[in-house]
Amino acid sequence: MEAKELPKYQSHKKVWALKIKKIDFSDDVSNDFHAIITPEEEGYEPFVVNHEYIHKHKPQEGGYYVVYEDGYRSWSPSEAFEEGYSKIN
């Protein structure tokens, strides 16, 4: 019996995103564990993400830090992000 192909969807969401150049993880093993993300794009300062973000999304250099319209913050591998989104501004 052949498996039926799942329905296909195309994304049309608007997101804000920065490509990640570098991630510096803190040495703190407590709940204050965090990382500093340095964006690839010029003009944007490094910023801190907390341990919940790190644990849930497991960000990696070269991927994208993504913020959705509802404020949800995520991470996306570069290939998936670049295939699904085009810069609009």
Q: Show me where the domains of the chain are located.
A: 15-84
The whole-chain average pLDDT of the chain stands at 91
Find, among 37, 41, 57, the residue nearest to 49 by Cα.
Answer: 37
- Res 30: pLDDT: 62
- Tens digits of residue pLDDT in 37-56: 999 999 999 999 998 999 99
CA angle 38–35–49, rounded 5-degree value: 85
Measured CA to CA, the distance from residue 68 to residue 81 in angstroms comes to 13
Q: Which pLDDT score, from 0 to 100, does residue 79 have?
A: 96
pLDDT of 63 over the 70 cut: yes
Compute the distance between CA of residue 41 and CA of residue 19 in angstroms, rounded to an integer.
7
